[in-house]
Chain A
Amino acid sequence: MDFILKIWRQQDSQAKGKFETYQVTGISPDCSFLEMLDILNNRLIDRFEKPICYDHDCREGICGSCGLYINGRPHGPDSAITTCQLHMRRFRDGDTIIVEPWRAKPFPVIKDLVVDRSAFDEIIMAGGYISVHTGSAPEANTIAVPKVKAEISMDAAACIGCGACVAACKNASAMLFVASKISQLAVLPQGIVEAKERVRKMVARMDELGFGNCTNTGACEAECPKGISLTHIARLNREYFAAKLL
């Protein structure tokens, strides 16, 4: 398959970037999107040109590094997958594909398609953990967790922190990410202990970092590779009100 790629190139965080056009030919339909970029990079290197920088790690949809904004959607045209799980057969032969980095003030571009997502780490550092001593592997039934609660927590814990929610949101809001990190702990007995402090600190940090405000638009939910639902944002709101008002 042949493609025309328009890719955002930016020398460093200070430089003014621009789109460069690349022709890639002879790509297998079974090639993943990242493999296609690898092939292009090899060809660029052969021509003594600078390869395109993009983030990736696991290449199996679990690490959340590979965020690319492809043809107007985070992680490309498919739902519930990451960029590394996207295959070229999803496009038509001869398609023009526009690839951009995540765009948000708290996610500055480092180089080309790589953005600095440490804003997410800072939100986690503000309170997205349990500091109570849980001891070493306790007997499984000492703390009873209802099945429904365990399911909610696991659904929220599916978040891989890729940032697609922020990238997709017209307001660059991080509410779905923060909601997942709140939900995964808030419904469990071990997490309840610090629930109020956690939600206060994480929301405050989120605001400080300059993420936008949620307008319940739902783009985050639509683009989340792990299908995390807006329900968690409602829970985050509830948790926040409880922490602030009760």
Chain B
Amino acid sequence: MSIIFNSSIGKKLIMSLAGLFLIAFLPVHLGINLCLILYDTREVFNKAAHFMSNNLIIKVIEIFLFAGLILHIFYGIYLQIQNWMARPVRYKIENYSQTSFFSKFMIHTAAIIAVFLVIHLSNFYFKSKIFGEVPIVIYDGKAYHDLGILVIEKFKIPGFVWFYIGCFLFLAFHLLHGFHSAFQTLGLDHKVYTPVIKSLGWLYTLLVSVGFILIPIYIYFLV
């Protein structure tokens, strides 16, 4: 059992499981973010963010989330390097085969998403967790981090809005292959269900990316 992860298929198993875990996390994050534009005050968003950072169960899940992210990145890079090494001499002309377009650029879209994550985490997550540079608001006599104002300030900067939108387009690009690919790696292939999974992948990607992209646009123009 332990040595399964030494094999190519075992490493891909980790990639797909970690990927699916991250896929499951995105709608949760989106749901909380949407609170910021669905309600007139920042209260619901701030309370939701407070719940997410203080609930014990969520804290445990958060550890798994970061572990999943790190594993996904680590094995992604490891497998990619092996793949490059498997063809030391390249073709003069290549890539004319009929393939799934999005699958060819996973490492490239991943690199952009990684840059985004670093910026994103340092803007919001680390700020509130480590540096404590977040303004405080009082709701019902209790103090909360006003993360909402932090987000709104950022999304008033046009460059940041563009950057954010761009990154989510790349994430969509990554997901369009990643979603159904994870199932194939798990060996879950079926005449009827595989096309359904592929369609679900498109739907998921559409909803998640449009959802995330709408938020900065809404805040920039309407808040």
Contacts and interface: CB of A to CB of B under 8 A. Distances in A.
Given A72-B93, A103-B90, A172 B83 contact: yes
Interface stretch (B34-42, B99-107, B117-125): B99-107
B7 A171 contact: no
A206 B8 contact: yes
Contact of A241 (B103, B106, B180, B187): B187
Given A210-B86, A213-B83, A241-B13, A222 B7 contact: no
Given A213-B82, A244-B1, A235 B100 contact: no
A22 interface: no
A222 B99 contact: yes
Contacts of A217: 99-100, 103-104
Contacts of B177: 216
Interface residues of B, number: 41
A233 B184 contact: yes
A204 B7 CA distance: 7
Contacts of B100: 216-218
B87 to A, nearest CB: 4
A216 B103 contact: yes
Contacts of A184: none
Nearest to B185: A237
Interface in A174-221: 203-204, 206-207, 210-219
Contacts of B94: 72, 170
B120 to A, nearest CB: 26
A115 B13 CA distance: 32
B10 A103 contact: no
Categorize the interface residue count of chain A.
35 or more
A213 B106 CA distance: 13
Given A170-B104, A222-B99, A245-B1, A71 B87 contact: no
Given A73-B96, A218-B103, A219-B97, A172 B9 contact: no
Nearest to B4: A244
Interface in B174-212: 177, 180-181, 184-189
Given A6-B92, A74-B97, A206-B8, 12 more contacts: A103-B90, A103-B91, A172-B87, A210-B86, A215-B83, A215-B103, A219-B97, A219-B99, A230-B184, A233-B184, A241-B4, A241-B186
Interface of A: 6, 19, 69, 71-74, 79, 98, 100, 103-106, 168, 170-173, 203-204, 206-207, 210-219, 222-223, 230-231, 233-241, 244-245
17 contacts: A79-B98, A103-B89, A103-B91, A170-B83, A170-B99, A171-B86, A172-B83, A210-B86, A212-B85, A216-B177, A222-B97, A231-B189, A235-B189, A237-B187, A241-B4, A241-B187, A245-B1
